[in-house]
Amino acid sequence: MLGQFRKEYVALNLPNTIVDANSNRGWSKRSLWRWWNQLSRFQRSVVYILILAACFAALYFLPATHPSWNPSNGKLNIALDRNHVTPPLSLLSPKKAQPPDNSLDKEQPAKEAHINNNTQKKQPMLDKEDLVLSGETANNNNVGQVHSPPRDGVKFSGSTNERQAAVVAAFRHAWKGYKKYAWGHDHLKPITGTFHDWFNLGLTIVDALDTIYIMGLKEEFAEAREWVANSLHFDGNRDVNLFEVTIRVLGSLLSSYHLSGDRMFLDKAVDLGTRLLPCFDSDSGVPYSDVNLATRKAHSPKWSPDSSTSEVTTIQLEFRDLSRCTGDPKFEDSAAKVSLHVHGLEKSEGLVPIFINANTGHFRSYSTITLGARGDSYYEYLLKQWIQTGQTIDYLRDDFVEAISGVMKHLTRRTAQNKYLFIGELLAGGRDFKPKMDHLTCYLPGTLALGVHNGLPQEHMQLAEELMTTCYQMYAQQPTFLAPEITYFNIQERTTGDMSVKTNDAHNLLRPEFVESLWYMYQITGNKTYQDWGWQIFQAFEKYAKVVNGYTSIGNVRNPVNTRPRDMMESFFLSETLKYLYLLFSDDPHILSLDKYVLNSEAHPLPIYDT
């Protein structure tokens, strides 16, 4: 599909037609001179003035003229953006991760064979008209352009029904407590009315920016923008975690730039991205986990020589986008190299151990294989990078498809009683199976559905639907209707009960993964059951996590009369949980079109490019 647009773009921009037209007229230099001599003095002055005016006009417009093909309305757009400095042509050439040796050319007719032929009918509820009616400006990110968002920002209508209004009210409640007790700090402690700092980057404000924008909260957006513009500085002498800061801060700054069109956010993103780059100066190119933003010294975590596999492979969407927005390839190149390196490592049926050494570039042998903590978003970013780059980097898709086959074969089991399908873990390099599933793993059905939406095998959808039921049960079987951090599944025959929870795992941190999947599943299938499940969970948050000054994580989902509040509201509650719920309840299921945006691991939407 995208290939078509690319071809038309090329045809429209070939200057040959103009050259040919001129030469056909057959004007020689001599006849031009004769014509000139026949003009009166006045006529010559007029010609001089016209030429001069043409020169001025050219100087004024030329540096920022991007002709572009707008696929949604079929018109050739000339974007005139004088604030935007066009990079030299060398930078405008298509930038993408070097394909691996085994990759074929872009069109890939042969390799498409194992992909479903449902790409044409993949969007039952979306057609071209919806794209135009939604009022959003279609992406003009054609091959080799520096991407600039719509100048006036993308328009959102604000809440349009009671459920959405309730989510907005929840957001404002959280925001009010944060503003009163923790403004400018990373997290609110809503019970004691104090704050918690982790990186000293005002995480809650930054992480919530695009949620605020999407909810249409103008006043809150103005105060958050003001804080970012004047008080967000990256020169604090403090170590930060590359992955966390990339997905939360860099991701949100880039999203805010794309949605609002405000260049200040991009300037901040460039400053931050530049300070994070030293992480990649390891022997292998696999980044160190931590960096000091002031001294720009990077190092491994204090507790280990290794980085987490998911952390080093969950920064690529953001660094690529930063390069696409600035025309400076160094961000994308550093991060894409890591993906390519991990692609080249030996895996067992696409599954990766959770630790990797930045100096040797090798996995730690015998470490756990899981789709939960430290493994999860490796798989997520394989698919999402493939989508972000217009489905042009085949190894990403192939590694994802292979990994999902590996998951189906080695990590899935059913409970004895109700045959719920779940995903467990492999310990000791694959020798022992542990029937334990992190709530984090509940991101997977949404990601699988996103893959099927983009033409991946239909059997992924069956896995997604079954996992949705299991994740829903993780909530529904608790008396608080909130899922614990970790659930164990019962696979022994002749026992009762499908799942159990250990005391140390019984907390709920207001995490988003299941409501994230609910949104994808609802958007892709249109099945309203997913909205109803989301509403049940939202009400459980209202009942058991809401406190006077915000929302708190709780220590025990098993006891409604003693939930053991933990006095902590993490930034992802505003960035992800409430955003996904708001999107899930939207009357317009394509409020944020999956064909235009890919959401990073912290729910920050970034544009999909053609290449």
Ligand X SMILES: *[C@@H]1O[C@H](CO)[C@@H](O)[C@H](O)[C@H]1NC(C)=O
String of b and e for 508-519 (b: at least 16 CB within 10 Å)?
bbbbbbbbbbbb
Part in contact with ligand X (CB under 6 A); list of ranges 78-86, 128-136, 300-308, 463-471: 463-471
> Annotated catalytic, 485?
yes
Part in contact with ligand X (CB under 6 A); list of ranges 209-217, 255-263, 268-276, 465-473: 465-473
Residue ranges in 268-327 that form contacts with ligand X under rule CB under 6 A = none
First to last CA, the chain: 12
Flag whether 601 is marked binding.
yes
| Dist. CA 572–CA 251, nearest whole Å | 12
* Closest distance to ligand X from the beta carbon of 524 (Å): 12
Residue 512 to residues 75, 448, 485, 507, 509, Cα–Cα distance (Å): 39, 16, 11, 14, 9
> Which x/- pattern, by CB under 6 A, does the window 29-48 give for ligand X?
--------------------
* Closest distance to ligand X from the beta carbon of 468 (Å): 6
| Dist. CA 454–CA 269, nearest whole Å | 29
Part in contact with ligand X (CB under 6 A); list of ranges 49-57, 350-358, 462-470, 581-589: 462-470
* Closest distance to ligand X from the beta carbon of 528 (Å): 8
Please, which residues have CB within 8 angstroms of residue 152's CB and are 6 or more apart in sequence? 261
Q: Which of 362, 397, 494 is nearest to 119 (CA)?
A: 397
Phi, psi of 288 (to 5 degrees): -70, 155
* Closest distance to ligand X from the beta carbon of 110 (Å): 9
Q: What pairing do the DSSP bridges indicate for beta strands 605-607 and 597-599?
A: antiparallel
Active-site option among 207, 210, 239, 244: 244
* 466 lies in the site for ligand X, by CB under 6 A: no
Applying CB under 6 A, the site for ligand X has a residue count of: 8
Residue ranges in 230-269 that form contacts with ligand X under rule CB under 6 A = none
| Dist. CA 146–CA 158, nearest whole Å | 30
Closest to ligand X by CB, 34 vs 114, is: 114
> Annotated catalytic, 376?
yes
Long-range contacts of 107-112 (CB under 8 A, 24+ apart): 107/3, 108/394, 111/394
* 458 lies in the site for ligand X, by CB under 6 A: no
Secondary structure of 379-390 in the HEC alphabet?
HHHHHHHHHHCC
| Dist. CA 237–CA 251, nearest whole Å | 22
| Dist. CA 489–CA 435, nearest whole Å | 5
Exposed, middle or buried, 144 (CB in 10 Å: 0-12/13-18/19+)?
Answer: middle
Residue 454 to residues 311, 336, 382, 464, 595, Cα–Cα distance (Å): 25, 21, 13, 15, 9
| Dist. CA 223–CA 212, nearest whole Å | 11
Please, which residues have CB within 8 angstroms of residue 520's CB and are 6 or more apart in sequence? 445, 446, 447, 449, 450, 594
| Dist. CA 544–CA 536, nearest whole Å | 12
* Closest distance to ligand X from the beta carbon of 471 (Å): 11
Length of the chain, please? Answer: 611
Closest to ligand X by CB, 204 vs 525, is: 525
SS3 call for 340: helix
Closest to ligand X by CB, 130 vs 465, is: 465
Closest to ligand X by CB, 119 vs 292, is: 119
* 465 lies in the site for ligand X, by CB under 6 A: yes
* Closest distance to ligand X from the beta carbon of 472 (Å): 8
> Which x/- pattern, by CB under 6 A, does the window 141-180 give for ligand X?
----------------------------------------
Active-site option among 513, 516, 567, 570: 513
Please, which residues have CB within 8 angstroms of residue 504's CB and are 6 or more apart in sequence? none
Which of 45, 231, 418, 529 binds ligand X (CB under 6 A)? It is 529
| Dist. CA 518–CA 584, nearest whole Å | 7
Active-site option among 207, 262, 318, 376: 376
Closest to ligand X by CB, 201 vs 404, is: 404
Closest to ligand X by CB, 265 vs 533, is: 533
Residue ranges in 107-136 that form contacts with ligand X under rule CB under 6 A = 113, 116-117
* Closest distance to ligand X from the beta carbon of 460 (Å): 14
Please, which residues have CB within 8 angstroms of residue 426's CB and are 6 or more apart in sequence? 351, 368, 369, 370, 410, 411, 432, 433, 434
Active-site option among 332, 398, 485, 498: 485
The DSSP line for 195-246 is EE-SSSS-HHHHHHHHHHHHHT-HHHHHHHHHHHHHH--S--S-EEEHHHHI
* Closest distance to ligand X from the beta carbon of 404 (Å): 16
Closest to ligand X by CB, 393 vs 468, is: 468
| Dist. CA 203–CA 257, nearest whole Å | 17
Give the tokens for residue 161: 């029904």
Closest to ligand X by CB, 111 vs 297, is: 111
* Closest distance to ligand X from the beta carbon of 111 (Å): 11
Closest to ligand X by CB, 14 vs 113, is: 113
Residue ranges in 363-392 that form contacts with ligand X under rule CB under 6 A = none
* 527 lies in the site for ligand X, by CB under 6 A: yes
> Residues marked as binding?
601
- List of residues contacting ligand X (CB under 6 A): 113, 116-117, 465, 468-469, 527, 529
Q: What are the residue numbers of the active site?
A: 244, 376, 485, 513
Binding annotation for Ca(2+)? 601
